[in-house]
Structure 1
Amino acid sequence: MELTAEIAAYRDGTGDPGRLVGEFRRAVLLAPLADGDAGAAGGLMSAVSGGIRWFYAFTDEEALARFARARGEAGREWPYLAVLGARLVDAVVPQVDGPAGVAVNVADGDGSMLFPPVSGIVPQACAVDAGQDVASGAVA
């Protein structure tokens, strides 16, 4: 199943978190380049919300175009990198000073998904829940 289908299944309550993360890691995503944003790590477009840096990523050019329209910037060129989801969390996230995750298809409402900086998604050294027993919330 492709990532958009896994996102839909997960949001409908029928998806499997492991399959969702697996599809995210295998998916080739479009990561827009920052346009002179000195705060963006690695030259990729991102935003900070809730103390987390979220890198924008899109499953296809149409999803990126919806994002551009939502920002009122559909008339400009949107350069991007095609990158595996695994590369974003395994190579880009560790370069950020502080917690970081990936926001997929953020302009799509019910088709969007956040991949937060937690164990099982980002490297353990970057996970905000590292050292905790996730099931009980206890610190290991």
Structure 2
Amino acid sequence: MLGEFRRTAVLVPFDEAGSLWTADFNGVRWICAFSDDEALARFAVARGDAGREWAYRTVLGARLLDVMVPMLPGPGGVALDAGSADGMVFPPVAGIVPDEVAVDIGETGGRGHDERERA
């Protein structure tokens, strides 16, 4: 599934400030991405925001994981189709995000977020 996500263009909505829509959960900042217009519309309805216009950008999954996640302050990942039964997450671990921002390799010599912030 990771390989398919990396090759797929997904929709990433903007928040009210014009930044990519993110959500914080358990100390991780998740970039919210959607597989298609319908998934984004279901998310808007679930939030009670179906009446407003949702601006979004189309981004390759690989770009989200390799470029955008490392730009987040602290640990980050991608939540695909948040709030749906088919949703999935791509957490900040080695093999999914770049090693320098993976939180699972900090004790084994890799550079997790805590080490990077002190460097």
Identity %: 53
- Does structure 1 residue 90 correspond to structure 2 residue 80? no
Q: Describe the SS at the equivalent of 2:50.
A: coil
- Does structure 1 residue 48 correspond to structure 2 residue 24? yes
The alignment of Structure 1 onto Structure 2 pairs a total of residues equal to 109
Corresponding position of 1:75: 51
Shift of 1:131: 4.5
Give the whole-Å Cα distance in 2 for the aligned partners of 1:122 and 1:131.
13
Q: Name the aligned partner's letter for residue 83 of structure 2.
A: A
Give the whole-Å Cα distance in 1 for the aligned partners of 2:73 and 2:84.
28
The answer to whether the Cα contact below 8 Å between 1:56 and 1:102 also exists between their aligned partners in 2 is yes
Report the TM-score, using the length of structure 2 for normalisation. Answer: 0.87
Q: Which runs of 5+ in 2 are unaligned?
A: 110-119
Corresponding position of 1:113: 88
Q: Which runs of 5+ in 1 are unaligned?
A: 1-19, 38-42, 133-138
Shift of 1:36: 2.2
Q: Which runs of 4+ in 1 moved over 4 A?
A: none
1:58-79 Cα deviation digits (max 9, x unpaired): 0000000000000000011000
The answer to whether the Cα contact below 8 Å between 1:63 and 1:107 also exists between their aligned partners in 2 is no
Corresponding position of 1:3: none
Give the whole-Å Cα distance in 2 for the aligned partners of 1:55 and 1:114.
10
Q: Describe the SS at the equivalent of 2:66.
A: helix
Shift of 1:108: 1.1
Q: Describe the SS at the equivalent of 1:107.
A: coil
Shift of 1:107: 2.2
Give the whole-Å Cα distance in 1 for the aligned partners of 2:10 and 2:55.
13
- Which residue of 80, 85, 98 maps to 1:123? 98
Give the whole-Å Cα distance in 2 for the aligned partners of 1:117 and 1:77.
30
Tell me how large the CA RMSD over aligned residues is.
1.3
Give the whole-Å Cα distance in 1 for the aligned partners of 2:40 and 2:9.
13
Q: Describe the SS at the equivalent of 1:68.
A: helix
Shift of 1:97: 1.5
- Does structure 1 residue 24 correspond to structure 2 residue 5? yes
